[in-house]
Amino acid sequence: MNELFNIELSTAYGKKSLSVICEDITRVELPIDVLTTSAFPGGYNPTPGSLYGALAKIGISVEQLAEEPYIDLRRTSNVWLSEKIEQGTSMIRRIGCIESRYKLDSRSFYSIDEEALLSSIRAYFHLLDIASASGVKMDNVALPLLGTGQQQLSENLIITPLINECVAFLKRNESVKNMYFIEYSEKKAKAFVSAIESSYALFLEASEPKKSARTPLAFISYTTPNRNVADNLCFKLESRGMRVWYAPRNVEGAYATAIAEAIEKATHFIVILSRECMLSEHVLNEIDLAFKRLPNDIKFKPLRIDTADLAPAFSYYLSRQHWMDAHIPPIEQRLEEFVDSIVKELN
């Protein structure tokens, strides 16, 4: 077994392990209580070269398991968990599935609804919480880089939110002990490793008091409807070597205290401005905390993702701050330009 990475997390329930393994998931000699998969709605055919095809070869029919799941939330959340697999010699005990939905884009083409998929990923881990609370054995949970096979989703879109949800799940779930990212593709497995190492830079450095407290650290302030942008921005910053703090990923202990302490340590305050953001008192409170550290201790970096006018309270704090507009497509390019502008200041 080719284990590329392993890290232990301290949780209220003891040490938990998160590993990255480069291997055929059906040949890993580890007990897997839940193997997480992804599919198009009803797309469980064991086609050659697919994960479901490989599972069929070891006696696991996902098509049959999907007919009568143990928990079925497909109507509301596009996720389900199978009954326990009793037959066969495989060490995989259950299959979990996250389904992708389609949407019609501005060019009248059908594509995967990425926002709905990310919401389904969050719902899936809450489904596992429900299963765990009802007595389902869940020591070891495994998953590949979901949606990047036949569904052809971008790794950049999936990898950061997937890691964030997995870590949050490990910390809150009493039963789970080990999380395995298992990928046959060495490229995808190494991408996992790189993202995890970057995501934990802040935690690792916190245990090394010799490091300067003024090492560049970006705090991302955002409201929940804009989480996809925040996740994407986090990935881009961390892939360029910058530490990032944002909730809920980095929250330890009391939420408000964690926010205040992080802003106190931050060198850059990034706020994602949008129509939804203008309705958030939490974002406004974060801006107020950061504003008190102007002009020398922190750099404001507002990023507008739509054309909504600043609400009066936001205008009070931000009207004299320079911001970047990212509402002109493609947003992927705008985010790259935004990150470039920050990284250049550090060099």
Quick one: 64 and 96 in the same domain?
yes
297 CB contacts (<8 Å, ≥6 apart)? none
CATH number of the structural domain spanning residue 124: 3.40.220.10
Q: Where are the alpha helices (DSSP H) in the chain?
A: 51-57, 62-67, 74-77, 114-133, 155-172, 186-199, 201-206, 227-239, 255-265, 281-291, 312-318, 331-346
Domain around 260: 201-346
The strand pairing partners of 35, in sequence order, are 95, 142
What is the number of domains present in the chain? 2
Residue where one domain finishes, among candidates 139, 170, 199 = 199
Quick one: 213 and 154 in the same domain?
no
Quick one: 40 and 181 in the same domain?
yes
- Phi, psi (5° rounding) for residue 254? -65, 135
Residue where one domain finishes, among candidates 165, 199, 233 = 199
Quick one: 187 and 245 in the same domain?
no
pLDDT single digits (tens) 159-214: 777 887 888 899 889 999 999 999 888 888 888 888 777 665 445 444 444 444 45
Quick one: 17 and 164 in the same domain?
yes
Residue where one domain finishes, among candidates 199, 234, 250 = 199
225 or 90, greater pLDDT:
225
Quick one: 192 and 327 in the same domain?
no
Quick one: 30 and 144 in the same domain?
yes
Q: Give the confidence band of 43 by pLDDT, cuts at 50, 70, 90.
A: confident
Whole-prediction pTM: 0.62
Quick one: 29 and 12 in the same domain?
yes
CA distances to 45, 60, 127, 289 from 42, rounded to whole Å, are 8, 16, 19, 48
Quick one: 123 and 264 in the same domain?
no
Quick one: 28 and 131 in the same domain?
yes
**Number of residues written out for the chain:** 347
Quick one: 320 and 287 in the same domain?
yes
CATH number of the structural domain spanning residue 302: 3.40.50.10140
Under a CB-based contact definition with an 8 Å cutoff, are residues 317 and 271 in contact?
Answer: no
Structure confidence at residue 207 (pLDDT): 46
- Phi, psi (5° rounding) for residue 217? -145, 125
pLDDT single digits (tens) 154-171: 566 677 778 878 888 998
Quick one: tokens of 316? 């009070």
Quick one: 254 and 320 in the same domain?
yes
